[in-house]
Chain A
Amino acid sequence: MSATLLSVQTLNGLQLGVLLFLVAAGLTLVFGVMDFINLAHGVQFMIGAYLAAMFTALTDNFFLGLGLALPAALTLGLALEWLVFRHLYARDHLDQVLATFGIILFLNQAVKFVWGAAPLSVPVPTLLSGSIQLMEGLRYPIYRLAVIGAGIAVALLLSLLVSRTRIGMLVRAGAANAPMVSALGVDIGRLFMLVFGFGAMLAGFAGAMVAPLVSVEPGMGDNLLILTFVVIVIGGIGSIRGAFIAALLVGLVDTLGRAFGPLVLRLFLDASAASQAGQALAPMLIYILMAAVLFVRPAGLFPVRR
């Protein structure tokens, strides 16, 4: 297990981690403030990627495409909130699960209808293409580094927004006790809408940023959604800080587990058994991690005090 490989995989893990955080941030806020379980958050990630792909192809410029995709993702999020979600806040979790499941069915099919079933690809922007030498024998793509940097920057901005501004204070208060905030004269409906739209935009931003790295296809948000759930459950639902730490943890554990699990197992098993067991165990690692965390701390690592 060479240091180079370890560094590359750690960077890959970080990249997955910041992406997970961008999606998880919206999800955990929506959950914390509104007690609303939104399965459709993953399709908003997918929509972000599709919008970026479309606008990039139209404008022939990735950054312009990204700039257009963000308000479009925000608009779609607000439209969904207005059409469906606001009618569900007072319902129980089961109704929310079902209705947002309906949205997933619709949107996954709708992107096939609009953009076709074949995966789209987005070229890496020329400004950020190529790779740089990080250390001896280690070259890493610039674009991936940019994704990590952008993700961390957004995370910092978000934490400033939540901890230092008036609107952030309202969001935190809403997460702790929404009826009280409402009783103090805050238009809680508008606050919900704002948080929701913002969360949708963050998920869309994450989708747009990975668009050049993956193939943009229907259902691409589904698996990420499940990972995001793992993140917010480990981090403690409603906690931005918890989501950040858990996202990095899940990103690293998942990536490193897949890369090095078989190698570590080889210390105990013979080569073929280790490779088989490693392949079986690696994708399950984060779920085992989640079960273990919940077993010790049923409310997650950083539970929001109520």
Chain B
Amino acid sequence: MSGAHPTAGPLRDRRPRLAGLILAGLATLPLLGALGADSYVLLLVTRVMIFAVAAISLDLILGYGAMVSFGHAAFMGIGAYAVGILATHGIEDLLAQAGVAILVSAGFAALTGAVSLRTKGVHFIMITLAFGQMAFFLAVSLAAYGGDDGLTIARRSTVLGAEWLGNATIFYYLVLAVLAATLLACRALVAARFGRVLRGTRENPVRMQAIGFEPFRYQLTAYVISGAICGLSGVLIANQTNFISPAYMAWQRSGELIVMVVLGGMGTLIGPLIGALAYLLIEEWLAGITEHWKMIFGPLLILVVLHARGGLVGAITRITGGRHG
């Protein structure tokens, strides 16, 4: 398998400094905003961080478990719909919404994961795609919540009854906190015994079985955790846009999440953050040049796949003196 697992080999935590630098940079950005930068930048970076949370959750199973989930956007959609549906019925508290979002996404992940993980390789890709489509069509059929057109949410979620999240800066820091917590939790998870078993299964499931592990249980657990985190990112995106629609669950969105992970460097956790940043900035930049930006982005993506192994993180570690394991 060529270029699939850039971190294969002895585990060494080579990227905490990079992660710290990026998070510190993100934390200071609103301060620059106070000095006169554009609030548009703040909005864009908030969006980047939300997609980064989703992409990191995907990296947990894609990069560390070699499970190519092509329906991951469904979880983001579930999180978003949890906000929209609860808000319609007068439940606007963020914690309640996030709790429901996490529970439902974890439940959906457990159900679909249990079926999907019976298959391998390309079957897994296609069955996760099919489950993603199921969620998509379910959302389309929810006529009471906007159906195909989606649903506008009147205002952002409340925290203990207060409408703090209406403030762009506070919302920015909330998203940043979720991002940092996701990074730390996932890092702890992959460094623990659980992560070692997961990586072992990625490399050779038969051997893992031979030495007494049951790969299925570890893979399913990772899948559920990943789904739950991705659901949380959906709560954030619904709050940022004040809008939910089935488009969040479209399979193209799942494809974009995979692109972010691979573009940044899979199996690195910080890579998906860089990938999300790069993807959304390139999109923003190219879309400013021409409405046909996808005609540039598509071939660009093909070139990256054909020629850039290890994604952007791989390139960064090579440039900064390559502390290779």
Contacts and interface: CB of A to CB of B under 8 A. Distances in A.
Interface of A: 31, 37, 39, 84, 87-88, 90-95, 97-99, 101-110, 112-113, 222, 226, 229-230, 233, 237, 276, 279-280, 283-284, 287-288, 290-291, 294-295, 298-299
Contact of A291 (B115, B137, B143, B297): B115
A102 B299 contact: yes
Nearest to A232: B126
Interface of B: 1-4, 62, 68, 70, 115, 118-119, 121-123, 125-127, 129-131, 133-134, 137-138, 140-143, 251-252, 255, 258-259, 262, 292-295, 297-302, 305-306
Given A97-B125, A276-B143, A103 B298 contact: yes
Nearest 8 Cβ contacts at the A-B interface: A106-B298, A102-B301, A105-B298, A283-B137, A280-B141, A109-B294, A102-B302, A102-B298
Given A99-B306, A108-B294, A284-B137, A298 B2 contact: no
6 contacts: A92-B3, A112-B292, A280-B142, A287-B134, A294-B127, A299-B123
Contacts of B62: 94
Given A92-B4, A95-B2, A284-B138, A84 B302 contact: yes
Contacts of A284: 134, 137-138
Given A91-B3, A98-B301, 10 more contacts: A31-B122, A87-B306, A101-B301, A106-B297, A109-B294, A237-B122, A280-B137, A280-B138, A283-B140, A298-B118
Nearest to A230: B130
A283 B141 contact: yes
Contact of B297 (A39, A99, A105, A237): A105
Given A95-B3, A98-B258, A291-B115, A298 B123 contact: yes
Looking at chain B's contact residues, the main secondary structure is helix
Contacts, number: 132
Given A93-B68, A226-B130, A287-B131, A113 B292 contact: yes
B325 to A, nearest CB: 21
Contacts of A294: 115, 118-119, 123, 127
B294 A92 contact: no
A277 to B, nearest CB: 9
Nearest to B3: A95
Nearest to B251: A226
Contacts of B3: 91-92, 95
Contacts of A237: 122-123
B127 A233 contact: yes
B115 A109 contact: no
A contact patch SS = helix
Contacts of A103: 298, 302
Contacts of A109: 292-295, 298
Nearest to A102: B301
Contacts of B129: 226, 229
A99 B304 CA distance: 9
A193 B142 CA distance: 45
Nearest to A229: B126
Contacts of A288: 134
A93 B122 contact: yes
A298 B120 CA distance: 9
Contacts of B70: 97
A264 B137 CA distance: 20
A249 B233 CA distance: 37
A75 B8 CA distance: 40
A90 to B, nearest CB: 7
Contacts of A279: 141, 143
Given A92-B4, A97-B70, A291 B127 contact: yes
Contacts of A97: 68, 70, 125, 255, 258
Given A93-B121, A109-B292, A287 B305 contact: no
Contacts of A95: 2-4, 305
A88 B303 CA distance: 11
**Which of A31, A110, A276, A284 has the most chain B CB atoms inside 10 A of its CB?**
A284
Contacts of B122: 31, 37, 93, 237
Nearest to B293: A109
Contacts of B141: 276, 279-280, 283
Nearest to B266: A94
Given A106-B295, A237-B122, A279-B141, A99 B305 contact: yes
Nearest to B2: A91
Nearest to B4: A92
Contacts of A39: 255
Given A37-B125, A102-B299, A105-B298, A287 B130 contact: yes
Contacts of A104: 298
Contacts of A37: 122, 125
Contact of A101 (B4, B119, B259): B259
Contact of B130 (A84, A93, A229, A295): A229
Contacts of B126: 229-230, 233
A279 B126 CA distance: 24
A238 B125 CA distance: 16
B127 A290 contact: yes
B127 A90 contact: no
A67 B1 CA distance: 41
Nearest to B137: A283
Contacts of A87: 306
Contacts of B131: 287, 291
